[in-house]
A and B are shown apart, each in its own frame.
Chain A
Amino acid sequence: DAGVIQSPRHEVTEMGQEVTLRCKPISGHNSLFWYRQTMMRGLELLIYFNNNVPIDDSGMPEDRFSAKMPNASFSTLKIQPSEPRDSAVYFCASSSGPSAPQHFGDGTRLSIL
């Protein structure tokens, strides 16, 4: 079975540039989560969707961050403009419902210079 697929695996860009991270959840899963992992703050939930609708975006750091889920098989996390403090590993996870564990993608390692 294909797991959660994230792209790109690595991204290095200069500050001020727009960054778009992509996620394809496991087919049939109706919940999707975006996390950020840093040494300083650990694993933080940024936003999660249920049936393509954003349910909780309280973890989104600021207006520079936005996330969309136009359909059940695709989500994006966008940072515009990017800043060096956004450097982190961004994970996407999906689950099949409230009683199901979350399955994580391999992450996108983002470096903002």
Chain B
Amino acid sequence: AQSVSQHNHHVILSEAASLELGCNYSYGGTVNLFWYVQYPGQHLQLLLKYFSGDPLVKGIKGFEAEFIKSKFSFNLRKPSVQWSDTAEYFCAVRDYGGATNKLIFGTGTLLAVQP
């Protein structure tokens, strides 16, 4: 079965530092890839998604992610983080098996940005 690995469980950065959060999924085929963010006490919100086309995807709030098919990866990046980026970040993959719409989530990465 498909699985998602987020290797960084907890990341602490200072403001203006660059961010890269890793995400790998377990096997290929056609997949849709997502990054969600959960701010403290709030629900998950979609940051960005990849379905096809340009493997470099730009999302909201200055985030971007690069899909590298050969590495089964979809890492999230931001060149300069802000204190307001403190949140938990979830990578998710959907096996595009036709009618199914089931997302498999990673365990999340908790990002703390220090002012």
Residues of A near any B CB (own CB < 8 A): 31, 33, 42-43, 45, 48, 50, 55-56, 91, 93, 95, 97-107
Assess the A106–B42 pair: CB atoms within 8 A.
Answer: yes
B contact residues, total (Cβ < 8 Å): 23
Chain A residues with Cβ below 8 Å from B44 are 43, 91, 93, 104
Chain B residues with Cβ below 8 Å from A102 are 46, 101, 103
- B36, B42, B101 interface centre (most CB from chain A within 10 Å): B101
* B98 to A, closest residue via Cβ: A98
Assess the A105–B34 pair: CB atoms within 8 A.
Answer: no
Residues of B near any A CB (own CB < 8 A): 32, 34, 36, 42-46, 49, 51, 90, 96, 98-108
Chain A residues with Cβ below 8 Å from B43 are 91, 104-107
* A45 to B, closest residue via Cβ: B102
* A92 to B, closest residue via Cβ: B43
Output the least CB separation between B52 and chain A (Å): 10
Chain B residues with Cβ below 8 Å from A97 are 101
List 8 extra interface pairs beyond A99-B51, A107-B43, CB under 8 A.
A42-B105, A42-B107, A48-B102, A93-B44, A100-B101, A101-B49, A102-B101, A102-B103
C-alpha gap A107/B42 in the complex (Å): 8
Sample (27) of A-B pairs whose CB atoms are under 8 Å apart: A33-B103, A42-B105, A42-B106, A42-B108, A43-B90, A43-B108, A45-B102, A45-B105, A48-B101, A48-B102, A50-B99, A50-B101, A55-B100, A56-B100, A56-B102, A91-B43, A95-B101, A98-B96, A98-B98, A98-B100, A99-B51, A101-B46, A102-B101, A102-B103, A104-B43, A104-B44, A104-B45
